[in-house]
Amino acid sequence: MNFSTPASKQESQDMLRTCVIFHRSKWLVTTVIVLFSIAFFILLRTRPSGFVPEEDMGAVFVSISLPPAASLERTAVVAAQVDSIARTIPQVNNILRLTGFNFIAGSGSSYAMVILGPQEMERALKESLMSK
């Protein structure tokens, strides 16, 4: 198979010419890289540094959806199981169970929500530092 069509030869020559220009004027390439680096660091310092908003308290929302015919009692049992598992996690400070409602799916007997509240960050940091 021969891939050297006139268009590909022209593209190859253009690419080679561009590489030769960049090779001959190394100062131009270096200057462009330095300018882009400076602009990047300026933007990094002036823009917000994270995707997590400051008001985020670190809560974890557990969405529970059972089959549509599930009763509210069955949903409450599953939510209680999630609650008991979450209580074994030492970083979880508060737990809130909602049965019959789900922030994502809506309301109904087959939906539940368990909200896990984290420990205070200072206390968790002190405990982790003391354990080391």
Please give the backbone phi and psi of residue 99, each rounded to the nearest 5 degrees, phi first: -110, 145
Q: For residue 90, is it within any domain? A: yes
Number of domains, the chain: 2
Same domain membership, residue 64 and residue 99: yes
Lowest mean pLDDT, pick from 26-40, 55-69, 100-114:
55-69
Q: What does the pLDDT read at residue 113?
A: 94
- Is the pTM value of this prediction over 0.75? no
Tens digits of residue pLDDT in 75-124:
999 999 999 999 998 888 888 999 998 888 888 899 999 988 887 654 65
Same domain membership, residue 117 and residue 64: yes
CATH number (domain holding residue 75): 3.30.70.1430
The helices-and-strands tally (H runs, E runs) of the chain is 4, 3
Does residue 44 have a pLDDT over 60?
A: yes
Domain that holds residue 79: 60-121
Same domain membership, residue 92 and residue 114: yes
Strand order in the sheet with 106-118: 60-65, 106-118, 92-102
